[in-house]
Structure 1
Amino acid sequence: MSARDVVIIGVGQLRNNRERDLAQAAEPLDLIERAARASADDAGIGADHLARVDAVAAVQIVSWSYADDAKAVADRLGATGARCVTSGSGGHQPVEMLTRLAEQVAAGDADLALLCGGEAQSSLELFQRAEADIPWSREPGGPGKFSREVGGTERMWDLGLVGPIRIYPLFENRLRYELGQSFAQAQQWSARMYSEFSAVAARNDAAWHPTPRTPDEIATVGPKNRMICFPYPLLMNATAKVDQAAAILVASAEEADRLGVPESKRIHLWSAAADRDCEDVLERPAFGASAGMAKALDQALDGAELAAGDVDVLDLYSCFPVVPKLAALHLKVTDRALSATGGLTSFGGAHNNYSSHALVAVTRELRRTGGTGLVYANGEYVTRHSVVVLSGRARPEGFVSAAATGEPETVTVLDDYTGEAVVETFTVEYDREANPARGYVVASLSGGRRTGVRVSKKDTYTLGELVREDTEPIGRRGRITESGGRRTFALEGSA
């Protein structure tokens, strides 16, 4: 027996307080409620029907804490009987949660479900800078959920190699090397892609930065576009200080019939898949590819019985340029539009919730043009991967999903190694005065082993060589030494 047909029947999203006015600030729960009511209006069923929702999945809110995000939303909507679940952290969670809801609907365990999420980071920081009281709902835990839950192992934390700004450049620099690109070629690709994303964001009603930018603006480093971690200037980094919310209303086809939702509003969920890479970035077998990403993409397409070329609309997660690059290279779609939403720099990266907006954007586009769409969502550090395939057409087999199988491959990491080593990949973090402040090197050792190590701020030669744009530092030899309990790497030729 085939699973039931699962359809998105309503979507809603919003941007709030772009003007950064305390009088317009609203807490995340208020924004999510507005988005949820907009999704019901979009479905043509009226917000009172939200009280009939069987299941509510909330993407974890980062900017403000509630005791239970999903239950807080359900209570606001009057859906007191709904099963509620709040996701963990990670940008993959919107698609992961949509998959869980779709599985319930397909199995007959729910008829009407709501996926939602929202953030008010911009307004929160506005209150904090003004040293003003924050008049938002207060529940145990207080504001903010930043912790080691964002990903990384003890080894990574001890090294200081945590935080997206430091880790994604490791993948970018290695990918450039493996593709045989010069620094200029790789940056031009990134800038051209993000310029195209900015043009998409300019047409999106919830975009935080709805202004098209040229490739030159994005690639040129200067006072308003300073280098953060080499090779990414500010305009190649996600924008997290946003107030945005989104909601997606999901139903069985039978429930959509009962509610009177027209076929033109229905977008069918065909397939979904999830996979992962190992948690410790230093143990990854490769930095120029992601096995978990590849498997999730392939499984989702296989479940839908589609090839990548059959997909009409794409939204590939884009916290940093290397992520859509890796996905597009695997799918062999580098000449295609890769975002229906506008990307996490121009549209805005509402912490864990960007891909909820991607689901809104792809749903709207498929309603307009028909065909099929794919949303790829990435969590942590190219670690968690969730993919969903959508279509304007029903599929006789109904919705299918595939979860990760097997343990990710790893390589051996030596934490106390000293001696000769070869640069496998690297990044250099800059201070606000535009000077290289610290470096991080992933170094290859004999026997296929690896180590992670820092570069001293005092070693201006090594830092300078790593960020030269006319030579390739990957593959160069150096030495790791230890002093005062801290190991550092220096390139050959360093004093």
Structure 2
Amino acid sequence: MLDPETVPVVVGVGRYTQKRGTPILEALSPIDIMAWTCRLAGRDATDSFYSSLHLLKQVDAVAVVQSATEARICHKFPRGLGTNISPNWPKSLGKAVGIKDLPWERCYQTYDGGNSSQMLINSMAEKISNKEIRSVLVSGCEVLSTLMSALSKGEIGAAQIREKWNEPLASSKTPVRVGPEYCDTEVEIKHGLHVPIRVYPLFEQAYRSSLDLSVEDHMLNQSKMFSGFSKVAAENPEHSWFPTERSPEDIASPNSRGNKWVGYPYTKYHCAVMNVDQSASVIIMSEAEAMRRGISKSKWIYLHGCADTIEKMTLRRPQLHRSPAMRIMGREVAKASNIGSMDMIKYKDIYSCFPIAVSVVARELGFDPKDGTKLTLTGGLPYHGGPGSNYSLHGLVALASKLRADPGSYGLITANGGYFNKHSAGIYSTTPYHITHPNAVKWSRMNPKSYQCELDNGPEVKLSNCPEGLGTVETYTVVHKGKGNEYRGIVIGKLNESQERFVATSNDTKLMRIMKSREFLGQQVNVSTDNHTGISTFRTNIVNSSL
């Protein structure tokens, strides 16, 4: 018989988007905006504001998704505030919602990465199943819009933020870290592959190569998909940072109003926007605890299955347009949910930092990528807004409403961190867990290590750390800065003689414009490496008299 003390259920959800342009002194701090969405989640669970306050005070644990805001705050002025506002964000959040004496060992925080919010839910669900905790508050935010606005005003703005956001705590103990941490490799950093907008266009071009399409045709297709995303954002103005429906042509063209090249073939409208003020929170507890708290079963959302995987480093992947980790994640989450197949999934929110992130998930999991309105519940990171690692928690909040309104249906959340490095997924439904798992005695999470070994032992490409000679381009991008000016060309390819993988860059403006004006996939390039810096550069004999 299934033990209700071991079955996690989502009982309350809340999200909030602060109005763009809110004055600095009126804007919510990171802790305050998370506390607000926690209260919204409590009210969602209890249908009463006052009951929600009592519910929050009795939560066992607090788990916070790492934010880019926190990292930016810690940078020295003028890039940041030069100090963290709290040594322990989960502890500060617990204090803000009325939890007294929250033990240090029940303060959890992830590392950075878009997979983090779903991975954190998977981890907290397992803790409930193991009876380590009975309930947990999961929250996250970004308030980069307010922070950057303050920093733009110099020390005066920074001082205002320091005073308003500071959260002193008696204890300086840092939270318990949850999940995998990804560190960029030396070769990636040297060649600029530690910034998403420089890496995802490389995946996009490799994907285009696999489809044998021109840049124009391929990016119009991708822009049609993202036009659907923008339509969903426009239909949800309360929660969207950019609630404007955009045509495929507007998204694809660097010359449309407000648009520009960012990382060829991506324009600004293809890209996630992190400078937002957004938060989302959920309350999870065991079935038994939910019954003790008197929370209506009409609120309960079950996590029927989950999975977490890690991909090989970018430059060692045999195919840059595929993701074995996503494929295995999909296989394992479907298996864990015990619902038969992905055909049972009615609602989806696919992590959407760039078009390729959606296309690869669709390819690996067998979804049709053409209609973007069926792949997001929020509008995605470029249009709903991309509150960093916490985005997928917004997707879950939106999914909860869909599932409650359509009892018995199933929904999928996928989350992607780094450069297709870290993946997490969850399948949810109002259908009780014992219906899909009739022989289970407790809720269970398959240990990710049991299938991660399949990925770790998979094939990989040999990488040349000091490439020299002729090579063939597998994929390429041109990085832009400012108003859309060419800044750096990047190619990934294989050396003709050894077939070792290489990455190389160029700062030649003429060459970068050639890369944008003609097909560069399969191009022959000469590669050389500076023995002092270890940076590889490329050149080509192409002559284009029109440039």
Q: Is the 8 A contact 1:276 1:384 kept in 2?
A: yes
- 2:198 maps to 166
- The answer to whether the aligner puts 1:137 opposite 2:163 as a matched pair is no
- 1:481 maps to 528
Q: Deviations over 1:107-144 (max 9, x none)?
A: 22222111101121101111111232212115689xxx
- The answer to whether the aligner puts 1:302 opposite 2:323 as a matched pair is no
Q: Deviations over 1:231-251 (max 9, x none)?
A: 110001111110111100011
- The answer to whether the aligner puts 1:463 opposite 2:516 as a matched pair is no
Alignment CA distance shift 1:56-1:473 (3 Å): same
- 1:435 maps to 485
- 1:317 maps to 351
Q: Distance in 1 between matches of 2:69 and 2:21?
A: 18
Q: Is the 8 A contact 1:313 1:372 kept in 2?
A: yes
Q: Distance in 1 between matches of 2:529 and 2:144?
A: 41
Q: Is the 8 A contact 2:323 2:364 kept in 1?
A: no
- 2:519 maps to 472
Equivalent of 1:388 in 426, 434, 444? 426
- One-letter amino acid of the counterpart of residue 350, structure 1: P
- The answer to whether the aligner puts 1:175 opposite 2:207 as a matched pair is yes
Aligned partner of residue 63 in structure 1, secondary structure:
helix
- 2:178 maps to none
- One-letter amino acid of the counterpart of residue 5, structure 1: V
Q: Distance in 2 between matches of 1:368 and 1:311?
A: 15
Q: Is the 8 A contact 2:471 2:493 kept in 1?
A: yes
Q: Which runs of 5+ in 1 are unaligned?
A: 142-148
Equivalent of 2:361 in 307, 327, 334? 327
- The answer to whether the aligner puts 1:414 opposite 2:447 as a matched pair is no
Q: Is the 8 A contact 1:35 1:247 kept in 2?
A: yes
Deviation at 1:151, TM superposition (A): 4.1
Aligned partner of residue 382 in structure 2, secondary structure:
helix
Q: Is the 8 A contact 1:55 1:101 kept in 2?
A: no
- 1:43 maps to 45
Q: Distance in 2 between matches of 1:420 and 1:315?
A: 43
Q: Distance in 1 between matches of 2:280 and 2:202?
A: 31
- One-letter amino acid of the counterpart of residue 423, structure 2: H
Q: Distance in 1 between matches of 2:274 and 2:424?
A: 21
Q: Distance in 1 between matches of 2:153 and 2:530?
A: 44
Q: How many residues align?
A: 483
Instruction: Provide the identity percentage.
Output: 29
Deviation at 1:94, TM superposition (A): 0.2
- 1:21 maps to 23
Q: Distance in 1 between matches of 2:230 and 2:537?
A: 39
Q: Deviations over 1:428-454 (max 9, x none)?
A: 112324332210110112444201111
- 1:145 maps to none
Equivalent of 1:81 in 84, 93, 102? 102
Q: Distance in 2 between matches of 1:313 and 1:421?
A: 44
TM-score by length of 1: 0.93
Q: Is the 8 A contact 2:13 2:40 kept in 1?
A: yes
- One-letter amino acid of the counterpart of residue 54, structure 2: D
Alignment CA distance shift 1:483-1:43 (3 Å): closer
TM-score by length of 2: 0.84
- One-letter amino acid of the counterpart of residue 372, structure 1: Y
- The answer to whether the aligner puts 1:379 opposite 2:410 as a matched pair is no
Q: Is the 8 A contact 1:112 1:249 kept in 2?
A: yes
Q: Distance in 1 between matches of 2:512 and 2:127?
A: 52
Q: Is the 8 A contact 2:488 2:506 kept in 1?
A: yes
- The answer to whether the aligner puts 1:194 opposite 2:232 as a matched pair is no
- One-letter amino acid of the counterpart of residue 500, structure 2: R
Q: Is the 8 A contact 1:456 1:489 kept in 2?
A: no
Alignment CA distance shift 1:275-1:408 (3 Å): farther
Alignment CA distance shift 1:15-1:163 (3 Å): same
Q: Is the 8 A contact 2:15 2:397 kept in 1?
A: yes
Aligned 1:96-495 pairs, distance under 5 A: 96-131=119-154, 132=157, 133=159, 134=161, 135-137=164-166, 151-204=183-236, 205-222=238-255, 224-278=258-312, 280-305=313-338, 306-334=340-368, 335=370, 337-370=374-407, 371-396=409-434, 397=437, 399-402=443-446, 403-404=448-449, 405-406=452-453, 407=456, 409=458, 410-445=460-495, 446-458=497-509, 460=510, 462-468=511-517, 471-482=518-529, 485=532, 486-493=535-542
Deviation at 1:208, TM superposition (A): 1.0
- 1:144 maps to none
Deviation at 1:24, TM superposition (A): 2.3
- The answer to whether the aligner puts 1:11 opposite 2:25 as a matched pair is no
Q: Distance in 2 between matches of 1:150 and 1:24?
A: 36
Q: Deviations over 1:188-236 (max 9, x none)?
A: 2221121111121223332111222222221121262100011110001
Aligned partner of residue 40 in structure 1, secondary structure:
helix
**What's the C-alpha RMSD, in Å, of the aligned pairs?**
2.1
Q: Distance in 2 between matches of 1:231 and 1:52?
A: 50
Equivalent of 1:61 in 50, 56, 67? 67
Deviation at 1:62, TM superposition (A): 2.3
Q: Deviations over 1:305-353 (max 9, x none)?
A: 2312110110110001100100011222115511112100101111211
Q: Which runs of 5+ in 2 are unaligned?
A: 71-83, 174-180
